[in-house]
């Protein structure tokens, strides 16, 4: 298995024109975090994978490509509560998943907040088994 690139280093890179292809390695998540509509607080789906500039959402519906979504992640805390990470993301693509009734949609984050970058770095460290 190739060594995963540290997301903090990947996030600092200058964008490259790769014909619409992803520039930063995404971390696949074995457990899913629920993603919510920030305005209505209704679930949009689950976080499938993530990078410092984007995410894949797994949902019950195809989503409108080109639309901008106000999203919220609710990150569990040690005391049993949760802390929100709010952000805006634009849908780049949406297609049916191999699982019937599920859809995968790719999003680019518009100005990711520092908390989102911290989350991607923590996930990258965790899944890459990076010693502290």
Report in angstroms the alpha-carbon separations of 49 from 56, 74, 79, 86: 5, 16, 26, 17
Q: Are 65 and 92 in contact (CB under 8 A)?
A: yes
Which secondary-structure segment (H or E) carries 106?
strand 103-110
Three-state secondary structure call for residue 73: strand
- Report the 10 Å Cβ neighbour count for 75: 15
DSSP one-letter code for 5: P
* Residue at token pair 């919510």: 36
Question: Residue ranges of the domains in the chain?
Answer: 26-127
CA dihedral 17, 69, 111, 26 (to 10 degrees): -60
Range 26-127 has CATH code 2.40.10.220: yes
Q: Whole-angstrom Cα distance, residue 60 to residue 44?
A: 8
pLDDT tens for residues 5-37?
334 444 554 444 445 554 555 555 445 689 999
CA dihedral 37, 45, 77, 87 (to 10 degrees): -40
pLDDT score for 16 = 43
Is the confidence at residue 91, as pLDDT, over 60? yes
pLDDT tens for residues 48-86?
888 888 999 999 999 999 999 999 999 888 898 899 999
Which secondary-structure segment (H or E) carries 54?
strand 54-59
């Amino acid at each position: 298995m190739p060594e995963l690139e540290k997301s903090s280093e990947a996030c600092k890179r200058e964008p490259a024109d790769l014909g619409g292809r992803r520039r930063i390695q995404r971390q696949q998540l074995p457990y899913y975090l629920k993603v919510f509509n920030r305005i209505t607080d209704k679930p949009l789906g689950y976080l499938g994978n993530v990078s410092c500039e984007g995410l894949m959402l797994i949902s019950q519906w195809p989503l409108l490509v080109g639309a901008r979504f106000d999203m919220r992640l609710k990150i569990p805390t040690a005391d049993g509560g949760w802390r929100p990470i709010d952000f805006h993301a634009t849908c780049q693509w949406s297609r049916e998943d191999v699982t019937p009734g599920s859809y995968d949609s790719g999003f680019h984050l518009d100005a990711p907040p520092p908390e989102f970058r911290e989350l991607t770095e923590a996930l990258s460290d965790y899944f890459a088994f990076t010693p502290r």
